[in-house]
Amino acid sequence: MRFYLGVVLSISCALTHAVGAEWNPRELNTLRSLSLTALTPVPVSPSNRVADNPQAAEFGKKIFFDPRFSKNGKFSCASCHQPDKYFTDQRPVGIGINKTSRNTPTVVASAWSRWFYWDGRRDSLWSQALTPFEAADEMGSSRTHVIWEISQDKHYLRRYEQLFGSLPRELMSKPKQLHASPIGDAQARENWHRIPNKKKNIINTVFANIGKAVAAYERTLVPKVTRFDRYVEQVLGIRDHQIRLSKDEVLGIKLFIDSEQTQCLQCHNGALLTNGGFHNVGSGNFYGKTLDFGRSLGIQAVLIDEFNCLGNYSDAKKEDCAQLRFLDPSQHHVPMDGAFKTPSLRNLGMTAPYFHDGRFSNLLDVLRYYNEPPVDNGPHELKALDFSDGQINSMIAFLKMLDSDE
Ligand code: HEC
Ligand code: HEC
């Protein structure tokens, strides 16, 4: 009898622990807000009429993995966004035809972003997808070359035409200027200059459609469940996963969500642990060879991008483009010189190195940075954390809970 009583008592103790007796209602609310339970459905993309078309996603996936669209036939999107590395390359900066100047972010969950790139110089997944084809350091190709490849492969051509109608015949014969683009290398720009405006418009329409298919694929890449998500389900009583947190994990969560001790939540919030905004954490590169002013230049670039939400190739109505229309480069209370898009904190275990230039190879170095942010690199938004080594370890234990099992 006594034996049974003991078993019952210890089970009930385990349960009280498991249902999260250590969290007050406010903390529980915050935990929920950070978990996949709180993730909204993939946001709509009015500027892309095939955003949710499964055939477009299938077509876009083929393009994503196909190196024929690069200048030398060697690089596809997946060369840098590798599926087995959570769609990153685990290098400090991306390397294609040449070394780029920034770290390769994941494309998982990018459908929830409002702005793309570390500096937000694109405002949709499809307009983003057009850029790497022509970026000299990435795929070094051009819109005319990309269209040519589509037109020459009968499977691609069929898929394209099923989705977007016939590919204009004038683009089917080998163009005089196979390598032409307004933003490519010098040769591409010169060739582009020679194409009549009407034809440029046709080329851009087809190119935009190709980007829209790639975006449809990227929208299917959604974040997977993590230990943290399962734990939150457990404390909310949704499902018992029999998870018992270590002391470090509990302390790490407490530190992360305690706005008096840390400011993490101010920028890393919501189910993706990012507010999607641009913040200055003192990491701008203002000197030397690798200048990077981040958001201040990104704003200028997105406003003049011909493929933005308000441009000729967008499927959106003007009213659907509020975020672009009300973008005001002068309206910021934090310095946008040196501000970057807040990255998600999901699957950090797969996405090292960290920061826009991949300067930190591990989480310990990132936390040491937050512990003592720079005092001599322009104004920024951080306060020194002043954590002990133990507190830093706890924070890392929490961040590791955000790694998915696969
Ligand atoms: C040479 C490596 C490389 C290739 C090839 C490449 N990317 Fe990227 N990608 C990067 C880097 C580096 C960045 C960040 C650049 C920046 O912020 O300026 C990036 C950024 C992105 C982003 C923005 C993510 C975010 O959260 O803002 C998306 C989406 C993306 N790439 C998709 C693609 C697609 C689609 C292709 C193929 C058409 C592609 N990439 C080809 C390296 C690459
Ligand atoms: C003021 C906004 C802000 C605050 C506060 C903040 N972060 Fe960040 N965080 C950012 C930005 C912006 C970056 C990217 C910086 C860069 O690329 O140069 C970043 C990057 C990171 C990274 C690297 C992720 C990656 O993929 O590169 C980690 C980890 C991180 N933050 C954790 C934290 C933790 C933990 C806290 C609290 C101690 C915190 N952050 C507080 C905005 C913030």
Give the pLDDT score at 21. 53
Q: Is the CB of 279 under 6 A from ligand 2?
A: yes
Give the pLDDT score at 175. 76
- Is the pLDDT assigned to residue 321 strictly greater than 80? yes
Are the CB atoms for 97 and 106 separated by under 8 Å? no
- Is the pLDDT assigned to residue 265 strictly greater than 80? yes
- Is the pLDDT assigned to residue 13 strictly greater than 50? no
What is the pLDDT confidence band of residue 15, given thresholds at 50, 70 and 90?
very low
- pLDDT tens readout for residues 358-393: 999 999 999 999 999 999 999 999 999 999 999 999
Are the CB atoms for 253 and 22 separated by under 8 Å? no
Are the CB atoms for 382 and 370 separated by under 8 Å? yes
Q: What percent of the chain has pLDDT over 90?
A: 87
What is the pLDDT confidence band of residue 290, given thresholds at 50, 70 and 90?
confident
Total Cβ atoms within 10 A of residue 19: 14
Q: Rounded distance, CA 174 to CA 239, Å?
A: 59
Give the pLDDT score at 7. 43
Expressed in angstroms and rounded, the spacing between residue 105 Cα and the centre of ligand 1 is 7
Give the pLDDT score at 406. 65
CA angle 304/306/307 to nearest 5° reads 120
- pLDDT tens readout for residues 37-87: 999 999 999 999 999 999 999 999 999 999 999 999 999 999 999 999 999
- Is the pLDDT assigned to residue 3 strictly greater than 50? no
Expressed in angstroms and rounded, the spacing between residue 277 Cα and the centre of ligand 2 is 11
Average pLDDT over residues 111-120: 98
Mutate to test the pocket of ligand 1, among 74, 100, 345 (most ligand atoms within 8 A of CB): 100
What is the pLDDT confidence band of residue 285, given thresholds at 50, 70 and 90?
very high
Expressed in angstroms and rounded, the spacing between residue 153 Cα and the centre of ligand 2 is 44
Give the pLDDT score at 5. 45
- pLDDT tens readout for residues 169-207: 988 888 777 899 999 888 899 999 999 999 999 999 999
Mean pLDDT of the chain: 93
* Residues ≥6 apart with Cβ < 8 Å to 329: 296, 299, 300, 303, 336
* Residues ≥6 apart with Cβ < 8 Å to 54: none
Are the CB atoms for 352 and 106 separated by under 8 Å? no
What is the pLDDT confidence band of residue 148, given thresholds at 50, 70 and 90?
very high
- Is the pLDDT assigned to residue 158 strictly greater than 80? yes
Amino acid letter, residue 115: W
Ligand nearest to the CA of 266: 2
Expressed in angstroms and rounded, the spacing between residue 129 Cα and the centre of ligand 1 is 8
Average pLDDT over residues 286-293: 90
Amino acid letter, residue 127: S
Q: Is the CB of 164 under 6 A from ligand 2?
A: no
